[in-house]
Amino acid sequence: MRRALGYLPQEFGIYPRISAVDMLDHLATLKGIPGKQRKEVVSALLKRVNLWDHRKKAVSSYSGGMRQRFGIAQALIGDPKLIIVDEPTAGLDPGERNRFYNLLSEIGENVIVILSTHIVEDVKELCSNMAIINGGRVLFAGAPDAALLEMEGKIWEKAIQKSEIDEYQQQYKVISSKLVAGKPIIHILSEEAPGNGFKATEAGLEDVFFAKIIAA
C-alpha cells in the first residue's frame, strides 16, 4: 500500500540543515530505490518541480511555495498510483498558488490526486470531482459544474446594514454574509425571487458549500 501512495501533508517535517537533493535522496532510499536509479529519480523530480537550480539549498530556507513544490517531489517518489494532498495552497501568494495549480494539474493527468482543502478556488481550478463532508457525513458528491447547476437561479444577493443581519436571518435562508467596503452583502437561498431588493447572482462553489451545510 505504501508503494502505491504518495502523500503531502499540510505540515511536513524536514531535517533543517539538509539540502533538497540530499533530503530527496534520503526519502528515495527509504522507498527502496537502488543507488544508480535513485540519483536519476531525484534529478528528474527536482527538474519536474522546477527546483533544480535550488537543489543544494536547505529545504528549511525555501519559501512556502518552494516547500510545497518540494513536498510534491517527495510525494512522487516511486511513481505512486494515488497522491493525497492536504491543504496544499494555504499561505501561498497568488503567483506561487498558480504555479502550484499548474503542477498539480499536470500530475493529475497521469495520477489520481485526492485534494483536501477548505479553499474553494482550489476545487474550482483543479478538481473534476468533489465531495462536501461535514461531521463525517458526505453532503454532496459529484462534479463541481453539477453542483453549480443545482444552485442555478436559487442564489440572491443584497447589501444591507449591519443592524439588519439578525432580522434578515429570521426572514430568509441566509447562507453567507461578508463585508464589502464595511457593508454586509448577504446571499440567500430561495427557489423563487424573494423581492425586497434582492438581485439574482451567479452561484459559486462557496454558495454550494454553505447551502449544503445549512441544509444538513
Calpha distance 140→47 (Å, rounded): 38
pLDDT, position 80:
93
Residue 184 lies in a domain: yes
Percent of the chain topping pLDDT 70: 100
pTM (2 decimals)?
Answer: 0.76
Mean pLDDT confidence for 179-190:
91
3-state helix, strand, coil in the chain (%, to 5): 45, 20, 35
Both 80 and 151 in one domain: the answer is no
Residue 49 lies in a domain: yes
Residue 136 lies in a domain: no
pLDDT of residue 29 exceeding 90, the answer is yes
pLDDT, position 101:
86
Both 15 and 114 in one domain: the answer is yes
Residue 18 lies in a domain: yes
Residue 133 lies in a domain: no
Both 105 and 170 in one domain: the answer is no
pLDDT in tens, 121-173: 888 888 999 999 998 999 999 999 999 999 999 999 999 999 999 999 999 99
pLDDT, position 88:
84
Both 109 and 165 in one domain: the answer is no
pLDDT of residue 190 exceeding 80, the answer is yes
pLDDT in tens, 87-124: 888 778 888 888 888 888 888 888 999 998 888 888 88
The pLDDT confidence band at residue 22, using thresholds 50, 70 and 90, is: very high
Domain that holds residue 187: 147-215
Both 70 and 110 in one domain: the answer is yes
Q: Any idea what the CATH number is for the domain that residue 118 is in?
A: 3.40.50.300
Residue 158 lies in a domain: yes
The total number of structural domains in the chain stands at: 2
pLDDT, position 97:
84
Residue 141 lies in a domain: no
Backbone angles phi, psi at 68, to 5 degrees: -65, -40
Both 62 and 157 in one domain: the answer is no
Calpha distance 132→148 (Å, rounded): 13
Residue 137 lies in a domain: no
Both 50 and 151 in one domain: the answer is no
Q: Which alpha helices (DSSP H) does 12-153 contain, by range?
A: 20-30, 35-48, 64-75, 94-107, 120-126, 144-151
CA 179 from centroid of its chain's CA atoms? 24
Residue 107 and residue 83 in contact, taking contact as beta carbons nearer than 8 Å: yes
